[in-house]
């Protein structure tokens, strides 16, 4: 029987695994500086949590969720994103009451039933942050800049940041009305759009099939209330004061229904058609709607696979030094336990002047020739050979595996 990883999933190993951990480490350092603390939530939740928060008429809920029943017939879903889970945890642990301001970050696998292609998978990784309890545009600006800084930290300096304001429950209904009126006049809308026109017309703006038909679509900016307008202006001036280059894109609505006011998306030219690297925005009503105390919030998530792809395209990883492989061999088996102790010491502490090493061996009961063959196979840079004559002088042989030269070196020097 031949088993393969399920369609749309992938094994991450070797260089890709190191890059992924590297990105996650980098993110932790940056989050820490901004005062965000880590939260790990379950990979599955009540399906209703996502339906309610992300929205019934979104792509994610309509066609991308992995929903299943457990043995007790509970309806569960593999998480398609992180925000809903973090909000659930925030409310469940009464943090909305005890610490109404909270900054949290998460990283982990997300699951969406999508058509797999480069940069689009059914299981992928996101790194995200949520800033609870601040309605200040400074929080919006900080979140956008945080996402931007994270991308820069992996060498992605060329990125396009798009922002928009979706307004609030006071002004959005007027825009919605104007939008519906306009969309009624557009011919040949696709089936999805026709269906959403009634329930969720903003979604229509996000439609990949129809978007080029919307030539004279009403502009949200004409409908924003004074408060939303002020907020959006201040967010922008804070972004500018940090030198952040962004573009206002009035069509940007994002694929989740919980957003209010500021939304943003960061794209890169480096990664082809799946060009969205990170996205987020404000969701001031979600915590209240899910049963918590009304708490404003803003957050973002980036897709690790796409970010790593973009980082790789910029050549960021080219100069990365992989650790040097060192093999410990024994020419005379009676020195095996000395060689083994030395190997352990090197594994624990590295070698003098060379900490970036990976140590292999020794292997007992094998001829020196077969040990050296193995060292070649694993691409060891150096092999350290424990041999009787040299050992009596407190030395071992260091074999350079490339040019096959060898030198005697005092063990104490390592
Ligand atoms: P897209 O428009 O590409 O479908 P999205 O709007 O669905 O993206 P979000 O829900 O905002 O994406 O998720 C944030 C980030 O997660 C995206 O910018 C992207 O980098 C990444 N992402 C989303 N879906 C996938 C996927 N199926 N595979 C890999 N990465 C993904
Ligand atoms: Mg999507």
Nearest CA residue ID for atom 29, ligand 1: 120
Give the ligand whose atoms come closest to the C-alpha of residue 110. Answer: 1
* pLDDT tens string 199-239: 888 888 888 888 888 888 899 999 999 999 999 999 999 99
Residue 254 neighbours by CB under 8 Å, 6+ apart: 206, 263, 265, 279, 281
Specify the number of domains making up the chain.
2
* pLDDT tens string 79-119: 999 999 999 999 999 999 888 789 999 999 999 999 999 99
User: Which of 260, 286, 317 marks a domain boundary?
Assistant: 317
What pLDDT, on the 0 to 100 scale, is given for residue 237?
Answer: 98
* pLDDT tens string 137-160: 999 999 999 999 999 999 999 999
CB 250 within 8 A of CB 164: yes
What atom of ligand 1 comes closest to residue 119's alpha carbon?
29
**Distance from the Cα of residue 303 to its chain's centroid:** 4
CB 36 within 8 A of CB 105: yes
Closest residue by Cα to residue 301 from 248, 235, 251, 256: 256
* pLDDT tens string 18-36: 999 999 999 999 999 999 9
Shared-domain flag, residues 351 and 239? no
Best residue among 254, 279, 302, 304 to mutate for probing ligand 1's pocket (most ligand atoms within 8 Å of CB) is: 279
* pLDDT tens string 187-200: 888 988 888 888 88
Shared-domain flag, residues 60 and 142? yes
**CATH code, domain carrying 384:** 3.40.50.800
Shared-domain flag, residues 263 and 342? no
- The answer as to whether 139 is a domain residue is yes
Shared-domain flag, residues 76 and 90? yes
Shared-domain flag, residues 311 and 327? no
What atom of ligand 1 comes closest to residue 80's alpha carbon?
10
pLDDT tier at 359 (50, 70, 90 boundaries)? Answer: very high
- The answer as to whether 195 is a domain residue is no
* pLDDT tens string 331-351: 999 999 999 999 999 999 998
Pocket of ligand 1 (CB under 6 A): 81, 112, 114, 119-121, 124, 126, 255, 274, 276-279, 301-303, 305-306
Nearest CA residue ID for atom 24, ligand 1: 120
> What is the whole-number distance in angstroms between the Cα of residue 276 and the centre of ligand 1?
7
User: Which of 295, 317, 339 marks a domain boundary?
Assistant: 317
Shared-domain flag, residues 165 and 303? yes
Shared-domain flag, residues 164 and 109? yes
Percent of residues, the chain, with pLDDT higher than 90 = 80
Instruction: Show the domain range for 376.
Output: 323-413
Shared-domain flag, residues 335 and 313? no
- The answer as to whether 148 is a domain residue is yes
Backbone conformation region of residue 66, classed left if phi is above 0, alpha if psi is from -120 to 50, else beta = beta
> What is the whole-number distance in angstroms between the Cα of residue 303 and the centre of ligand 1?
6
Shared-domain flag, residues 330 and 263? no
> What is the whole-number distance in angstroms between the Cα of residue 152 and the centre of ligand 2?
23
- The answer as to whether 136 is a domain residue is yes
Shared-domain flag, residues 284 and 406? no
């Amino acid at each position: 029987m031949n088993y393969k990883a399920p369609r749309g999933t992938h094994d991450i190993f070797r260089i890709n695994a190191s890059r992924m951990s590297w990105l996650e480490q980098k993110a932790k350092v940056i989050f820490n500086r901004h005062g965000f603390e880590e939260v790990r939530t379950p990979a599955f939740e009540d399906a209703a949590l996502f339906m309610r928060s992300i929205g019934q008429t979104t792509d994610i809920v309509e066609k991308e969720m992995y929903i299943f029943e457990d043995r007790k017939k509970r309806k569960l879903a593999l998480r398609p994103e992180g925000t809903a889970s973090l909000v659930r945890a925030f409310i469940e642990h009464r943090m909305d009451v005890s610490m109404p301001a909270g900054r949290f970050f998460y990283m982990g696998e997300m699951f969406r039933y999508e058509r797999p292609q480069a940069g689009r998978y059914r299981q992928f990784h996101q790194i995200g942050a949520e800033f609870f309890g601040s309605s200040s545009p400074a929080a919006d600006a900080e979140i956008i800049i945080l996402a931007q800084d994270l991308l820069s930290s992996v060498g992605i300096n060329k990125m396009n940041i798009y922002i928009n304001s979706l307004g609030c429950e006071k002004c959005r209904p007027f825009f919605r009305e104007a939008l519906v009126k306009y969309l009624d006049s557009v011919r040949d809308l696709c089936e999805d759009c026709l269906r959403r026109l009634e329930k969720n017309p903003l979604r229509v703006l996000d439609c990949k099939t129809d978007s080029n038909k919307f030539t004279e679509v009403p502009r949200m900016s004409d409908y924003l209330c004074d408060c939303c307008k002020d907020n959006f202006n201040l967010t922008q001036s804070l972004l500018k004061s940090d030198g952040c280059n962004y573009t206002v894109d009035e069509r940007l609505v994002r694929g989740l229904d919980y957003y209010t006011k500021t939304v943003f998306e960061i794209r890169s030219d480096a990664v082809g058609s799946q060009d969205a690297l990170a996205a987020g925005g404000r969701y001031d009503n979600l915590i209240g709607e899910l049963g918590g105390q009304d708490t404003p919030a803003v957050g973002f998530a980036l897709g690790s696979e796409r970010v790593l792809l973009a980082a790789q395209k910029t050549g960021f990883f080219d100069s990365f030094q992989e650790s040097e492989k060192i093999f410990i061999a024994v020419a005379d088996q009676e020195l095996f336990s000395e060689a083994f102790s030395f190997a352990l010491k090197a594994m624990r502490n590295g070698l003098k002047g060379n900490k970036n090493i990976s140590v292999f061996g020794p292997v007992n009961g094998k001829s020196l020739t077969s040990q050296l063959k193995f060292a070649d196979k694993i691409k060891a840079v150096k092999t350290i050979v424990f041999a009787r004559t040299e050992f009596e002088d407190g030395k071992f042989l260091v074999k350079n595996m490339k040019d096959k030269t060898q030198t005697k070196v005092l063990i104490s020097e390592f």
